[in-house]
Amino acid sequence: MNPVPPHPLAAFDIGPDGTARPIAEAWPAAAPGPGAAWRWLHFALANPALADWTEAHLPAVAAEAILQTETRPRCTPLEGGLIVNLRGVNLNAGAEPEDMVSLRIWVAPGLVVSVRRSKVFALDDLRRAAAAGTAPPSPGAFLAEIAEGLTDRFEAVSVELEDLTDELEEAILEREEEDRAVDLAPLRRKAIRLRRHAGPQREALGRLSEGQTALIDAEARILLGESANRAARTVEELDAVAARLVALHDHLEGLRGTVMARNGYVLSVVAAIFLPLGFLTGLFGVNVAGMPGTANPWAFALLSAANVVLALGLLALFRLLRWL
C-alpha cells in the first residue's frame, strides 16, 4: 500500500470560468486565493495531519463528520454549509464493486473539502481535469459532476449484474443447466449489498437536488435531480434483479422437491412390490417339516416363477390404479 502523503491529495483555486490553478502551499487555508471563485481541497482520511487542519479551519460538527470512519449517504445543511456523504462502487484493484467506497464532502461558500478512504474514480477524474486546468465553475457544479460520475459507475455495475441474471435465467430455465445453481448465491449477495447502499444514495441525491441553498445554483440543481432520478432507476433495477434471483432460487428448490418426491414415490412402489415377495421368500425359508415342495426338484424354479408373476401382477395393478 502506498504511504499517505503529509499534504492534500489535491488543492486548487478555481475561477468563475472554471479555470483551475494548483495551490503551492503544503497546507493551504480554507479561503480561496485572489481572483478565485472557490477552493477545492481533497484529502486522504488516513492523513495524520488532517484532524488538526479540520479543527483549525472547519466548524466542529463538519470536522467531526468528515473524519468519521463509517458513514452512510446523506445531505445535511449546517451553519451555512452542507455535509454531503456519498458512496460509489469500488473499482480499485483486488476489490469487489459492491464493497463500495465512501466520499465525505464539506461545502461552504467558496470552499469544497473532500475526504476519501479509498480511491474514488469519479473524483479522480475531476482531479485530473483540474490538474489540466479545467474544473467545475462552482461548488454546486462540482457536486453535480461528482454525482454524475458516481451514478454512471453505479449504473454500469447494475447493468452488468442484470446481464448476468439474464444469462443465468436462460441457462437454468431454458437450457435446464441446474449445475449453474452455484452461481446464484454470489449474485444474490452482490444485489443485496448494492441495493443496501443504492437506497440511501438516492435519498441523499434527492435532498441535494431539492434543497433550497445558495450553494447550489439552479443549473446544478437540475443536474443533481437527473442523477437522483437515475439513482432511483438503479434502485428499481436492483430490486427487480433481486426478485428475479429469488424466483430462480424458488424454481430450483421446486425442481429439487419434485425430484425428491418422485424418487421417494418410486421407492415406495418398489417397496410395495417387494413386500409380498419378501413375505413369500421368508415363509418358504422356514426350515420346518411340512414345507411344500421339499421333495420336488422343480419347487425352487416354480417359486421363483410365481414371484415374477406376482411382481408383474402388482405392477400391472399399480398402473391400473394410476399409482405409477
pLDDT in tens, 221-261: 999 999 999 999 999 999 999 999 999 988 888 877 777 77
Give the residue ranges of DSSP H helices in the chain.
50-57, 60-66, 121-131, 139-169, 184-210, 218-284, 299-320
Q: Where are the domains of the chain?
A: 10-254, 266-320
Bridge-based pairing of strands 74-78 and 10-14 is unpaired
Separation between Cα atoms, residue 146 and residue 322, nearest integer Å: 68
* 173 residue type, one letter: L
Q: Decide if 10-254 and 266-320 have a common fold.
A: no
Q: pLDDT digit string (tens) for 5-42? A: 567 899 999 999 999 999 988 888 889 989 899 999 99
pTM here is 0.79
Helices within 70-138 (DSSP H only): 121-131
pLDDT cut 90: percent of the chain above it: 56
Determine the average pLDDT of the residues in 93-117.
Answer: 93
Could you give the CA distance from residue 254 to residue 246 in angstroms, rounded to a whole number?
A: 12
Nearest Cα residue to 10 out of 89, 114, 92, 108: 114
CATH architecture group of domain 10-254: 2-Layer Sandwich (3.30)
- CATH number for the domain running over 266-320: 1.20.58
- 122 grid coordinates: 469519479
